[in-house]
Structure formats: structure tokens, C-alpha cells
């Protein structure tokens, strides 16, 4: 497995298991959680950069208004994605969040074709069609616009495109995103903590404080994996590998959190899994062997 795929798998497994983490901080408001995630992730990446003495990029970035605007946009998209995802995980909508990340690879594939002029192989097109049918069916079964799913899908799809075409590396890019938001995020967290007696002050619970502080590494690690993968893989490939994350979320939502999941929803997910099976077979080099086996048979 090449480095791009290894980073992609690491990122999406982390995100797939993320709902488990939010069960430990269920009573912390979503906005407060996201404020903490942003601040502690920033401190972590700045600490890594300081340890590695990697600061030359920052001076160059500050001289490029277009680059600053690009990373400000990616930071805002990431913030929207975090806020909606935390809300979904804390309010019993993990299955709908998984739907959003099943839609997201389709958004990534569409952006790859339309913006980056990437070309899909026939097997990948077949997988996309199957996944699109599954997502359309799941949307119809829900009987309402799946706003959580759609917000997660489009915010992260555009974020992935920006990070793939950005000039900075994974660590530097994440640091710049959070640095640009820090003038708003840090005062907001301070105000929330004092005006609303934030969870760190109110609870006095060492375990809860530890879980909140852990949000930094848990936020930064998969994002760094993802950014590294995005720079090494075609956007279409990255988008299709991304199905791993919502599959894990779905399993947690149905079997651990006991969210509703009937036979109609199962049909939609089955179509998506068939598409994932095609892509996996192609990525593993099994399609030529299957073709030769069929020809001999």
C-alpha cells in the first residue's frame, strides 16, 4: 500500500470511530466542543512546528493575500463541518451523519471531474452510479431534506478540493487555518467559559477536562492524515476510499447507539457497498484477474 492510501485509511478509520469519543462529552454544548477542538488542535500543531523549527512558510504565507483567503475559506468550511458533526453525534443522528459521508465522496468525484479534469475508469464510473442510486434512495426514504448529511457532504467535499490544490503541507496548512480563525475563536472560548461557566470551570471533573483536552490530538491527527492523502491521491480515488468512515459510523449508530435502520435504508446502503466493492477490487488489482477468470470460464 502506498503512502497516500495508508494516510487515507488512517484518516477515515479515525473519523469513523469519532462518535465514540463524543459519548464522553455528551453534556458539553456543541459550540463549546468545537471551540475547544480548534484551540487545542492549534496549540498542538504549533508545538510540533516549534519542535521541528519549521517557520519559514509562515513568513511567505503572510505575504500572499490570495493564499490567506484560501486557507481562511478552508478553515471556515472545516468549522462548519465540525459543528454540524458534533451536533449530530450528540443528538442521536449518527446514521444521518454517515449518510452525509456517503454523499461526500460523490461530491469529491464531481469536483475532481469538473474542476481538476480527472478521468475516471469504467469501474469507478460504475461504482459512482451505484453509490448515487443508493444515496438517492436513502434521501427519498428519509422523507425530508437531510440537512445534516448535505451540510457535511458539501462542506468537506469543497474542503478536500482546497487542501488538494493548496501549496502548503498538511501540518502547515492546518496551522494556518486555525491561526486565521484564532482571533475570533480564542476570545469566543474565553467569553463562553466565563459568561456561561464552561464545562472546564463548571464541572471540576478531571476526567471530563481530560476528554476535552484530548479533542486537540483527536482533531489534528486525522486531518493531517487526510491532508497528506489528498496531496498524493487523485480526488476521485480519495473520495471513494472515504466510504470507510461512514460505514463505521453506520455500524456504531445502528448496533451501539440503536438508531432506527429499517429494510428500506438497508437497500440504499447495500447499493453503496456494491460500489465500494467494485472500487476495492479495482484498487487491489483484482479486476484483471476476474476478467481473465470469466474469459476462461
Torsion of CA 107, 35, 252, 153, to 10 degrees: -10
- Would you tell me how many other CB atoms lie within 10 Å of the CB of residue 3? 11
**Averaged pLDDT score across all residues of the chain:** 83
Give the confidence band of 280 by pLDDT, cuts at 50, 70, 90: low
All 3 cell numbers of residue 230?
A: 489528498
C-alpha to C-alpha distances, 24 to 36, 82, 107, 219, 259, nearest whole angstrom: 15, 17, 31, 15, 18
In the block, residue with C-alpha cell 502506498: 2
Query: Quick one: pLDDT at residue 196?
Result: 67
What digits encode the pLDDT tens for the residues 20-56?
998 888 888 888 889 998 999 899 899 989 998 888 8
The mean pLDDT of 78-84, rounded to a whole number, is 93
Query: Quick one: pLDDT at residue 286?
Result: 54
The pTM (predicted TM-score) of the whole model is 0.81
Query: Quick one: pLDDT at residue 297?
Result: 47
Torsion of CA 287, 290, 296, 297, to 10 degrees: -140
- Would you tell me how many other CB atoms lie within 10 Å of the CB of residue 83? 18
Amino acid at each position: 500500500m502506498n503512502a497516500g492510501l495508508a494516510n487515507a485509511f488512517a484518516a477515515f478509520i479515525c473519523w469513523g470511530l469519532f462518535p465514540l469519543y463524543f459519548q464522553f462529552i455528551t453534556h458539553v454544548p456543541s459550540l463549546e466542543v468545537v471551540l475547544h477542538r480548534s484551540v487545542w488542535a492549534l496549540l498542538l500543531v504549533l508545538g510540533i512546528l516549534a519542535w521541528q523549527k519549521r517557520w519559514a512558510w509562515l513568513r511567505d504565507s503572510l505575504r500572499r493575500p490570495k493564499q490567506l483567503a484560501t486557507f481562511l475559506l478552508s478553515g471556515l468550511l472545516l468549522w462548519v463541518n465540525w459543528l454540524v458533526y458534533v451536533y449530530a453525534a450528540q443528538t442521536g443522528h449518527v446514521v444521518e451523519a454517515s449518510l452525509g459521508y456517503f454523499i461526500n465522496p460523490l461530491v469529491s468525484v464531481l469536483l475532481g471531474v469538473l474542476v481538476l479534469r480527472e478521468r475516471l475508469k469504467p469501474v469507478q464510473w460504475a461504482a459512482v452510479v451505484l453509490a448515487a442510486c443508493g444515496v438517492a434512495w436513502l434521501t427519498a426514504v428519509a422523507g425530508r431534506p437531510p440537512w445534516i448529511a448535505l451540510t457535511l457532504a458539501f462542506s468537506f467535499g469543497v474542503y478536500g478540493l482546497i487542501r488538494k490544490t493548496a501549496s502548503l503541507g498538511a501540518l502547515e496548512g492546518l496551522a494556518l487555518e486555525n491561526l486565521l480563525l484564532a482571533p475570533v475563536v480564542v476570545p469566543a472560548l474565553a467569553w463562553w467559559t466565563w459568561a456561561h461557566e464552561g464545562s472546564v470551570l463548571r464541572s471540576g471533573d478531571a476526567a471530563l477536562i481530560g476528554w476535552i483536552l484530548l479533542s486537540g490530538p483527536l482533531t489534528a491527527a486525522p486531518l493531517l492524515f487526510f491532508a497528506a492523502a489528498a496531496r498524493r491521491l487523485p480526488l476521485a480515488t480519495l473520495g471513494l476510499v472515504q466510504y470507510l468512515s461512514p460505514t463505521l459510523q453506520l455500524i456504531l449508530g445502528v448496533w451501539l447507539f440503536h438508531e432506527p435502520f429499517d429494510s428500506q435504508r438497508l437497500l440504499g446502503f447495500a447499493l453503496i457497498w456494491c460500489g465500494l466493492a467494485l472500487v476495492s477490487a479495482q484498487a487491489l488489482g483484482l479486476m484483471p484477474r476476474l476478467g481473465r477468470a470469466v474469459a476462461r470460464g
